[in-house]
Chain A
Amino acid sequence: MLPIRCPWCGEREQTEFSYGGEAHIVRPTDSADLTDAEWGDYVFFRTNPRGLHYERWFHAFGCRRWFNMARDTVSGAIHGTYRPGEPRTDVPDAPRVPVAGGDGGEG
């Protein structure tokens, strides 16, 4: 169970969240002009990387906000969470370790 830091509510257990797949996939606005293959790529094909993954989570049992998270699919390390529209979290070399003291929410 991952401890996930909701960008609004602070750190909560994973069971409060639902997973929303890869992040930063922009829905084509010109879909009518796309080939079946291009459209299929958008709908079905994901990077599924071994390693750093930018993904979406939904704070389903909390504030009901969607947000993004950078996580390593091999080491399990969560590198950070950020709100939609914010730039991708910079990923430092070291995985995140629960920090001394303050892992509370923003409030």
Chain B
Amino acid sequence: MAEQQAPITAPIRRGPLDGRAPVTADGVSLTLPAFAGKLVLRGGSDDGAFTAAAAKVLGAGLPLAPNTAARGPRGLALWLGPTEWMVHVDADTCDALAAELTAAFAGLHAAVVDVSDYYAVMRLGGPRARDVLAKGCPLDLHPDRFDVDHCAQTRFVASAILLHQVDVGPTYDIQVRWSFADFLWTYLADAMREFTSR
């Protein structure tokens, strides 16, 4: 039955925000960072075998402190919960890393789930980024409270977001579900309008 036929052209992978032009305003801009592979790692913070296995593959320990992110040679790991991390990796190496992690977790109560397409990431940066975020995000983002490589799962108006501060700009990466991405982008762009001159 395997009357196998190659597709005519290579399939195109798209994100929900593809083609969006950056939005800029005085002191703040909204852009699309490069597409990243995304893996959810599950395992216990207190399960030494798991954390060691993860650290070994990733080349750096998972961030165990709540609301923090840690960068390692293979990617960026963000704390999501006591048994859950999000790892952002180069899209091309994602499958391989997932396989390595799965292999390393053999025999452990741990899991690797590919969610690369589930979420989209947009980047909000500039001195006014905090003011824009404050229009929908209830977190206190004062630099004394939320700094570079802090992250938080929270909300922006109705959307559940994963917020990660990338630099002191401040620049934030905001991860959101595919189906909410367009809405969130539109909302953020609207929130920036105040800072545009006509």
Contact = CB atoms under 8 A, between A and B. Distances in A.
Size category of the B interface is 10 to 19
A65 interface: yes
Contact of B82 (A12, A63, A104, A105): A63
Size category of the A interface is 10 to 19
A9 B138 contact: no
A72 interface: no
B138 A13 contact: yes
A60 B161 CA distance: 11
Interface in A60-95: 60-65
Contact of A16 (B65, B81, B138): B138
A8 B81 contact: yes
A106 interface: yes
A61 B160 contact: yes
Nearest to B146: A104
Interface of A: 8-10, 12-13, 15-16, 60-65, 104-107
11 contacts: A8-B66, A9-B66, A10-B66, A10-B67, A16-B138, A61-B155, A61-B160, A62-B153, A105-B67, A105-B152, A107-B150
